[in-house]
Structure 1
C-alpha cells in the first residue's frame, strides 16, 4: 500500500540519493556541473516546500515537495518507474493537497507527457529555470 509522511531533515540523505538516481535516469540534458550544484542545494530546496516521503509497504520509493498548490518536485526511485505510483501520488495530492500546478523541464518530454496524461495543460513557458540556468521550463495547470 502506498502511504506518505512528512519528511524531516534526517530524511534528506535518503531523499537526495533518490533524487540522484531519478535525475540520472531522466535528466540527460543537465550538465554534470549543474547536476552537482543542484544536488548540493537540495537541502535548501527541501526546506522551502512541504516535503512528503512516499512509501510502498514501508519501503521509501520517492518524495514530493508542495509549495501551496504547486507541485515543486516529484521524484521516484527508478526501480518504481512505470508502475502507476506517480499517477497514484498525483491523484492523492489532488485530493489532499489541492494540487493545481506543476513545472517541468521542456527537455524532459516523458515528464511533460506524464503530467498531460494526468489532466494538466500548458499555460506558459520560460527559457530559463528558476535559478536562471539555460533549461527551458513549461508551466502546467489543471484549470
Structure 2
C-alpha cells in the first residue's frame, strides 16, 4: 500500500539518489554538467515545496513536491516505473488540494504522455528552462 510521509532534510540524501536514478533513466537530453548543476540545487528546490516521500511498505517509490495547485516535481524510482504509482500519487495529491498545473520537459515524451493520461493538456511552451538552458518547458493544465 502506497503511503505518504512529509520529507525532511534528513531524507534529502535518499531523495537525491532516487532523483539521480530517475533522471538518468528519463532525462537523456541533459548533459552531465547540467545534471550535476541541478543535483547541487536540489536542497534549495526541496525547501521551496511541500515535499512528500512515497513508500510501499519500507521501499521508497518516489517523491513529489507541490506548491498549491502546481506539481513542481514528481520522481519515481526506475524499478517502479509503469506500475501505477505515478497515477496513485497524482490522485492522492489531487484529493488533498485540486492539482491543476504541472511543467514538463518537452524532451521527456514519456513524462508528457503520463501527464496527458492524467488529464493534463499543454497550454503553453517556453523555449528555455528556468535556468535559461535550451531545455524547452511545456506548461500543462487540467480543469
Counterpart in the other structure of 2:142? 142
Q: C-alpha displacement at 1:58, in angstroms?
A: 2.4
Runs of 4+ in 1 over 2 A off after TM superposition: none
Please say if 1:31 is aligned against 2:7. no
Counterpart of 1:119 in structure 2 is: 119
TM-score scaled by structure 2? 0.98
> Taking structure 1 as the reference length, what is the TM-score of the superposition?
0.98
Partner of 2:46: 46
SS at match of 2:110: helix
Q: Secondary structure at the match of 2:115?
A: helix
Distance 1:57 1:123 in 2: 37
Q: Once the 2 structures are TM-superposed, how far is the Cα of residue 14 of structure 1 from its aligned partner?
A: 0.2
1:93 pairs with 2:93: yes
Paired residues in the alignment total: 143
Deviation at 1:9, TM superposition (A): 0.5
Compute the displacement of 1:101 (Å).
Answer: 0.5
In angstroms, what is the RMSD of aligned CA positions?
Answer: 0.7
Alignment of 1:55-74 (within 5 A): 55-74=55-74
Distance 2:116 2:95 in 1: 18
Task: Name the residue aligned to 1:4.
Answer: 4
- 1:19-67 Cα offsets, whole Å, 9 max, x none, are 0000000000001100000000000000000000000012211100001
Structure 1 gap ranges (5+): none
